Chains A and B, each alone.
Chain A
């Protein structure tokens, strides 16, 4: 997978309440959720970002509520991937499960600036900051998680597993 986009920087502890405030959780329609993505953090975010842009954040991105509406809103708004120093664990699972690419890196978050152009090459396991002319290695993900990602998310895994079980009966 190749991802290329402009960076929007976010601080530590971006919680799922600011990613998608609960007042909009009376729907699960991705398009509607996307309209309010990051609204309580930066009300103009959705309007000023472009399709394919990348979020680069500090520690504990996606902490708080388990609402899958948070990664859904980010994906539907057009965010192509998130690179953070660390992710809260439920957000991490949810992003993997719905097929929103996320990467952990201390260095990138430290060294990149807002507006930098970043290129991610998952096949080579590399992230390149084109403006800063720097290349970083991606952390290796466990095989099971890689399998879910390559299938396109947990839903495809479930379908395959159900088929496998049916055939084994």
Chain B
């Protein structure tokens, strides 16, 4: 019986032979990171552990991205802890404001996480880097402290569900729509403790930015991580970025999967996930008249250059609806600069949108777009839980950048077709 990509990666990172599903192993970690919310606790516990240094100064990342640039004094104190710790322990990958980007967009962009790696981040959307063919999992702060001290993580060898996407993608259907559709089919705990391996002809033709979006939201189905086998598109993305040598692993044709789920994409429309769970996705044609107060385009899910290009394509020559706040947040400085070069930022600001420096900000109701009681947002982010973006009686609808852009123009949740035809 052959092996899945995940089994191969884990085998290469432990001394245990013949890994079986359910085994608890200690795996060596290639890159570990935390942000301004999770790092302070990890730093405290790391210092209390008696460790004299981090396991590898090049393999630890500290990224103040959640409540940064500092939104208030308490957040400033938390960010300061990261900066001081990075200095004290000579951690190379600390990203100050101005160089900072949202961690899950920044680390692949900088070539710090690579195919074949075991990546562990103190943030649930660490699964994003699975798009590179890495085994990337989110953990909490105590785990991160342990990894900084020991260089290894305890984990259970997970089973894998293989998703095979075939057929022709409809206009305006993106990686975001595929993953929202998939989550709606299996539910928010449909892949709990398991790996979601995305495959098939549709995935092979999908750009890296769309692949990152899909793996990013595997956690919203409860998955341990999402993963995509590296191919020519992956290797092309890594050119000029990869900071280390890396190893490409692929699943054997006869690998054992717990389940194989086939999805015909030709019947999938742009999707909108209704409050208050990511599994509540409906096709855009069934949404009805849902007025919005705010539209957010950005986040670790959809703040990359392709996301901004699609939004600009829809927004160009249009005006943001008079009762809507459109807030666009490039995920990294590189994305921001590229958007400037391509005049996308011109298009956004001319339309009446606000463009922000990179931050997670509104996605988790931090700042830069918090919702008032009764307000409603369409958002390219990843969660629409109660109170996620602000007041517990506000609402978040999840969608692609194309739908978020069209909705901002029309003041209600809308299909990109309505703007492009109009």
Would you call A60 and B140 a contact (CB within 8 A)? no
- Say yes or no: is B298 at the interface (Cβ < 8 Å to chain A): no
* Cα–Cα distance between A161 and B387 once the two chains are bound (Å): 40
Instruction: Fill in one digit per residue for A68-97: 1 if any B CB lies within 8 Å of its CB, else 0.
Output: 110110000000000000101110011001
- Say yes or no: is B149 at the interface (Cβ < 8 Å to chain A): yes
Would you call B189 and A60 a contact (CB within 8 A)? yes
* Cα–Cα distance between A18 and B224 once the two chains are bound (Å): 21
Q: How far apart are B241's CB and chain A's nearest CB, in angstroms?
A: 26
* Cα–Cα distance between A23 and B367 once the two chains are bound (Å): 9
Which residues of A have CB within 8 Å of B224?
89
Stretch with Cβ within 8 A of B (4 or more), from A46-54, A108-116, A121-129, A152-160: A152-160
* Cα–Cα distance between A21 and B67 once the two chains are bound (Å): 14
* Cα–Cα distance between A163 and B52 once the two chains are bound (Å): 12
Q: How far apart are A90's CB and chain B's nearest CB, in angstroms?
A: 6
Q: Which residues of B does A touch, CB under 8 Å?
A: 24, 37-38, 40-41, 44-45, 48-51, 66-67, 71-72, 74-75, 78, 122-124, 126, 138-143, 145-146, 149-150, 154, 156, 188-189, 192-193, 219, 222, 224, 277, 364-366, 383, 385-388, 392
Would you call B386 and A26 a contact (CB within 8 A)? no
Which residues of B have CB within 8 Å of A130?
none
Interface residues of A in 32-47 (CB under 8 A from B): 39-41
Q: How far apart are B27's CB and chain A's nearest CB, in angstroms?
A: 13
Would you call A17 and B387 a contact (CB within 8 A)? yes
* Cα–Cα distance between A163 and B138 once the two chains are bound (Å): 27
* Cα–Cα distance between A68 and B224 once the two chains are bound (Å): 17
Would you call B383 and A17 a contact (CB within 8 A)? yes
Would you call A66 and B149 a contact (CB within 8 A)? no
Which residues of B have CB within 8 Å of A64?
124, 219, 383, 385
Q: Most chain-B CB neighbours within 10 Å: which of A22, A93, A155, A162?
A: A22
Which residues of A have CB within 8 Å of B142?
68, 94, 97-98, 153-155
Q: How far apart are A57's CB and chain B's nearest CB, in angstroms?
A: 12
Q: How far apart are A122's CB and chain B's nearest CB, in angstroms?
A: 19
Given contacts A13-B188, A17-B383, 10 further A-B contacts (CB under 8 A): A17-B388, A28-B40, A66-B122, A66-B123, A66-B138, A89-B224, A90-B124, A98-B142, A142-B24, A162-B150
Would you call B388 and A88 a contact (CB within 8 A)? no
Q: Most chain-A CB neighbours within 10 Å: which of B48, B49, B156?
A: B49
Q: Which of A18, A67, A163 contacts B38 (CB 8 A)?
A: A67
Q: How far apart are B237's CB and chain A's nearest CB, in angstroms?
A: 26
Q: How far apart are B71's CB and chain A's nearest CB, in angstroms?
A: 8
Which residues of A have CB within 8 Å of B75?
26
Would you call A23 and B365 a contact (CB within 8 A)? yes
Which residues of B have CB within 8 Å of A65?
123-124, 364, 383
* Cα–Cα distance between A15 and B275 once the two chains are bound (Å): 13
Q: How far apart are B123's CB and chain A's nearest CB, in angstroms?
A: 6
Knowing A66-B139, A67-B140, the reply to whether A59 touches B48 (Cβ < 8 A) is: no
Which residues of A have CB within 8 Å of B123?
65-66
Cβ-closest chain A residue relative to B365: A22
* Cα–Cα distance between A142 and B155 once the two chains are bound (Å): 11
Would you call B387 and A21 a contact (CB within 8 A)? yes
- Say yes or no: is A151 at the interface (Cβ < 8 Å to chain B): no
Q: How far apart are B356's CB and chain A's nearest CB, in angstroms?
A: 17
Knowing A17-B387, A18-B385, A26-B74, the reply to whether A86 touches B50 (Cβ < 8 A) is: no
The 4 closest A-B pairs by CB, nearest first: A26-B74, A68-B140, A94-B140, A60-B189
Q: How far apart are B294's CB and chain A's nearest CB, in angstroms?
A: 17
Q: How far apart are B125's CB and chain A's nearest CB, in angstroms?
A: 9
Knowing A22-B366, A154-B142, A155-B49, the reply to whether A40 touches B387 (Cβ < 8 A) is: yes
Which residues of A have CB within 8 Å of B385?
15, 17-18, 64
Q: Which of B122, B139, B149, B387 contacts A18 (CB 8 A)?
A: B387
Would you call B366 and A90 a contact (CB within 8 A)? no
* Cα–Cα distance between A90 and B154 once the two chains are bound (Å): 12
* Cα–Cα distance between A59 and B193 once the two chains are bound (Å): 13
Q: How far apart are A16's CB and chain B's nearest CB, in angstroms?
A: 9
Cβ-closest chain A residue relative to B77: A26
Which residues of A have CB within 8 Å of B41?
28, 68-69, 72
Q: How far apart are A25's CB and chain B's nearest CB, in angstroms?
A: 5
Would you call A155 and B387 a contact (CB within 8 A)? no
Which residues of A have CB within 8 Å of B277?
13
* Cα–Cα distance between A161 and B153 once the two chains are bound (Å): 12
Q: How far apart are B106's CB and chain A's nearest CB, in angstroms?
A: 17
Pairs across A and B, CB under 8 Å, 20 listed:
A13-B188, A17-B364, A17-B385, A25-B364, A39-B392, A40-B387, A60-B189, A60-B192, A63-B188, A63-B222, A64-B383, A65-B124, A66-B138, A68-B142, A86-B192, A89-B193, A90-B124, A97-B143, A155-B146, A158-B146
Which residues of A have CB within 8 Å of B72?
26
